[in-house]
Amino acid sequence: MRVIADILRECHSMRMLGYYCSMISAIRQAFRHSVLCLLLCAPGIVVAADSGVVLLYHHVATGTPPSTSISPEDFRAHLDYLRDNDFSVLPLDELVQSLHSRTPLPDRAVAITFDDGYSSIYETAFPLLQEYDMPFALFLSTEPINNRQKNYMTWEQVRALSEAGVLIANHMVSHPYMLSRNREETDTAWLARQRSELMEAEATILRETGQSHRFLAYPYGEFDAQIKAMLGKEGYFGFAQNSGAIGYNSDFLALPRYPLAGIYARLETARVKFNSLAFDVELLEPDSPVTELDRPEALLRFNLNGISQSQIQCYDEGQALMLHWEDRESGLLRIQGLKARSGRRWRYICTAASTENGRYFWYSVPWINPR
């Protein structure tokens, strides 16, 4: 680990991505895979898993908007729980690349992420995570940092995080509503504008920190099929804000993360999400979360892998949905909300109890109505 740290420091000081930097994630992944293979050969030991969980935080403070904030006390409680309950807190790139390449992870694998670049991440969260020796990633919007906006970090602080091994990734320049179009803007011009801002933020992060991972966290968790296609063409992974665990067959252009703020920051509910597992499920319809309907339908195909169809329950704001199995043999399930929704963003959530006590499979379908 000291050799890796030295390489990172050298790369950051040179403000470039050298060959060895590009190999660090692969080395970590190969090493962990070798250890897992050895352990799996030992009688009675099962440590590998085909899913992981990504956590999402914004402010770690009490004087900031509750909808995006967790108190330092509650955040410490989360870290205590992860430490004391045999979780493996992994670097985000290691977790994602392992699942993308279908490489087994340790059981209860978790990655911690922060969005935006608020000062409380540096002042409060960073020292706590150092104390617990837990890696994390920061998705950064570059404009507030460039403008030295109040309550945001400075580039000096961002570089200090980078030099300490924090993964710095892309959250666009201005934290835009990516679905919004300018007046009389064509689809082609709108998508080109999104790409330009994506690339500008990536270039700024590379110049300031020496890092370029081609990870994008969609601002507000908003995207559509065209944005995903653009991201895939540019070689990016995409991260959303709808809940769920990540598995081998997840959509790597819209990976779920659990937002943990406000009422969702309470440990008694957060720990269920920490322990969640990924369904093997494919969203067949629609191809985009953007809708003008107030009760949109989704068609899912579940590969149940031993899960009984009777175990699956789906919800809209805690209200159980009617499950319409169009083809039970092939696992085709159609779901639709029971009540009209008037907000901009919501989701349907599907869960099923696993055979392991206290753990649930978890998947969600996001919806966005830009109006």
The CATH fold assigned to 284-368 is Immunoglobulin-like (2.60.40)
pLDDT given for residue 28 in this prediction? 52
Helices (H) and strands (E) in the chain, counts: 11, 22
Q: In angstroms, what CA-CA distances link 210 with 13, 91, 166, 271? A: 8, 17, 12, 35
pLDDT of residue 16: 41
Kindly report, residue by residue over 310-335, the tens digit of the pLDDT. Answer: 999 999 999 999 999 999 999 999 99
Q: What is the pLDDT of residue 48?
A: 65
Model pLDDT for residues 11-62, shown as the tens digit of each residue = 444 444 433 444 444 445 454 544 444 433 333 333 468 999 999 999 999 9
Q: Which pLDDT belongs to residue 357?
A: 79
pLDDT at 1: 37
At residue 215, the 3 state secondary structure works out as strand
Q: Is the peptide bond before 286 cis (omega within 30 degrees of 0)?
A: yes
Q: Kindly tell me if the per-residue pLDDT of 7 is higher than 90.
A: no
Q: What is the mean pLDDT of the segment spanning 91-112?
A: 98
295-304 residue pLDDT tens = 999 999 999 8
Place of tokens 């890696």: 135
Q: What is the mean pLDDT of residues 163-169?
A: 98
- Residue 355: predicted pLDDT: 87
Per residue in 336-369, pLDDT tens? 999 999 999 999 999 999 988 789 999 999 999 9
Listed by start position, the domains of the chain span: 49-276, 284-368
Work out the average pLDDT over 149-176.
98
Question: Where do we find the tokens 């104390």?
Answer: 131
Residue 4 CA neighbour count, 13 Å, CB half: 11
What does CATH list as the number for 49-276?
A: 3.20.20.370
Q: What is the mean pLDDT of residues 152-167?
A: 98
Instruction: Quote the mean pLDDT of the chain.
Output: 90
Task: Write out the two tokens for 273.
Answer: 């999400």
Domains 49-276 and 284-368 share a fold: no
Contacts for 47 with CB less than 8 Å, ≥ 6 apart: 36, 39, 40, 106, 107
Distance between CA atoms of residues 288 and 295, nearest Å: 15
Q: What is the mean pLDDT of residues 171-179?
A: 98
Q: What is the pLDDT of residues 116-151, one digit of tens each?
A: 999 999 999 999 999 999 999 999 999 999 999 999
Q: What is the pLDDT of residue 296?
A: 98
Lowest model confidence (mean pLDDT) among 5-19, 139-153, 194-208 = 5-19
Q: Which of 297, 191, 198, 181 is nearest to 238 (CA)?
A: 198
